[in-house]
Structure 1
Amino acid sequence: MKLPAYWMTRPAPPPDRGTSASFDRLLEQALANGPDEPIDYRLEAPKWQFLCHAADRGRLLLHGSGDPAISRFEPRQPDDNSEFGNRRAVFAAGDGLWPMYYAILDRDRHPMSLINGCVRLASGSERLGEPHYYFSISAQALKQQPWRPGTVYLLPAGTFELQPRMRVGDVSVQLAQWASPVPVTPVAKLAVQPEDFPFLDQIRGHDDERLWTRAAADPDGFPWHEEA
């Protein structure tokens, strides 16, 4: 199964061995310093690569927010009708790019609906492939360039449950979404700017009414993409 071209992959090239080692050292220092102050990021590599590296190690999950001073995440009930998402929980991503999207969107000043995802595919017994991304917001909000500085929090993965894989024919689809039923205290945080998000210019705009109509007609047709 091959995803349509509007699903995007991480920008190339991946970090080299030396850069990955620098990420490890910075992450160890950040965890030692704790979450009170943002990570002092001075590496040449883009922040999104560091966040992806932190998530790909498997022991940390990430959450993006416009609030730079969250000391404890409390479970909340999201506006999500999916079987996994319709629960009171702390939600986080097992990916570094996906939470940046939430961190830089100013939803307080610009009402909008969001359609987004981060998925990996596997056929049969194959290992999961590389992550693919889709990012869209209400077209009227997109015209306003609703960006803001944000913060990506690093959370311990211990109390989280990974969303179960979905089957599409002989292909399994893994969404990078995790949920914790109990409060979570972050272990580190990184300040990000809109320009740190490599897909800023690829965020799409959708017509809310047409999107909800397509979603009602085809509930399994996520992301209900419509070519301009």
Structure 2
Amino acid sequence: MIDWLCRIFLHYAPEIKFSTEEIQAYEQLALNVTDEGLIEYDLPYAKFRYLTYVSLKGLYVFHGSNHTGIRIFEPRKQTLYNGQWTKAVFAASDPHWPMFYAIFNRSRLKGNFRNGCIRGQKQNYHFYSLNQSTISNDPWTEGMVYFLPRQSFTAPKPRGISFDEWLCHEPVAPIAKLKVCPEDCYYFNKIAVHNDGESLIKTWLLYKARTRTTPTEGEH
């Protein structure tokens, strides 16, 4: 039931097929990392494809930030998707969600923004919406997607609507990082605009209609 509703109202993660040449290029990229852990990306493939490939290995979760020099992530008090408070480092196994946080300049936020990655039975579903005041304030920037060790994090419990929120309650150091800009984000042209004061349920119901575009690579 939840998957059916999400498919109607949200965008699902792209289905990507990797060529042998592409896989070989990604494997070689692991050797192209600076002493600071920065991946020096010089490949002709979109960065979201590379991050998707890395995520399928199951070794990492990802965290997106405007701050490009984080050496240690410290647990912070913040709320889960259901409003419950926790003190933790947040990450996601689906790299598309952290990419949004990497390119979204929170200092330009005016009012509220709504986003998430919902875990389905077979695939994930995404939604991203900013209010008009924020969109008018040029909220985009370059940022960093950090690779964090998955074994340090606890996976979300599969019950009801489950967001892809992985938690670590201890300080954790990133293993690597990749610089990204708005054009690298698969969902950049699928960010909706909602009215100031609009209800959350209305934003959800209208999200897909507001972001209908020509299908991009990997979407059916």
Give the shorter-chain TM-score range: 0.7 to 0.9
Distance 1:112 1:71, change over 3 A: farther
Give a deviation string over 1:164-193, Cα, whole Å, max 9, x none: 0123xxxxx543220000011001000001
Matched, 1:18 2:18: no
Residue 225 (structure 1) aligned with residue 205 (structure 2): yes
Q: For 1:194-226, what per-residue CA distance to the aligned partner results, in whole angstroms no more than 9, with x for missing partners?
A: 1111211210122342225x59xxxxxxx6434
Q: How does 1:114-129 map to 2 (within 5 A)?
A: 114-122=113-121, 129=122
Matched, 1:181 2:169: yes
Name the counterpart of 2:186. Answer: 198
> For residues 14 and 150 of structure 2, what CA distance do their matches in structure 1 show?
26
Q: 1:75 — aligned with what?
A: 75
Once residues 46 and 144 of structure 1 are traced to their aligned partners in structure 2, the CA distance between those partners, rounded to angstroms, is 27
2:125 matches 1:145: no
Q: Give the Cα–Cα distance (whole angstroms) in 2 for the partners of residues 35 and 164 of structure 1.
A: 36
What TM-score do the two structures reach when normalised by structure 1? 0.80
Show structure 1 runs of 5+ residues with no match.
123-128, 168-172, 216-222
The amino acid of 1:225's aligned partner reads L
Q: CA RMSD in A?
A: 2.4
Q: Distance in 2 between matches of 1:65 and 1:101?
A: 9
* Mapped contact 1:90–1:180 kept (Cα < 8 A): yes
Question: What residue in structure 2 maps to residue 60 of structure 1?
Answer: 60
Q: Which moved more, 1:137-146 or 1:180-189?
A: 137-146
Change (3 A) 1:34 1:61: farther
Unaligned stretches of 5+ residues in structure 2? 211-220
Figure out how many residues of one structure are paired with residues of the other and give that number: 205
Query: Identity, % of aligned pairs?
Result: 29
Determine the structure 1 residue equivalent to 2:125: 132
My pick for the range that moved more, 57-66 or 33-42, is 33-42
Give the structure-2-normalised TM-score: 0.82
Match of 2:213 in 1: none
- Residue 136 of structure 1 aligns with an amino acid whose one-letter code is S
Structure 1 consecutive aligned stretches of length 4 or more whose deviation exceeds 6 Å: none
Distance 1:145 1:109, change over 3 A: closer
State the AA in 1 paired with 2:142. P
CA distance in 2, matches of 1:5, 1:224: 10
Q: CA deviation at 1:119?
A: 2.3
1:98 aligns to what? 97
2:218 aligns with: none
- Check if 1:154 corresponds to 2:154: no
Instruction: State the alpha-carbon separation in 1 of the partners of residues 155 and 62 from structure 2.
Output: 13
Q: CA deviation at 1:65?
A: 0.2
1:25, distance to aligned residue in structure 2 (A): 2.7
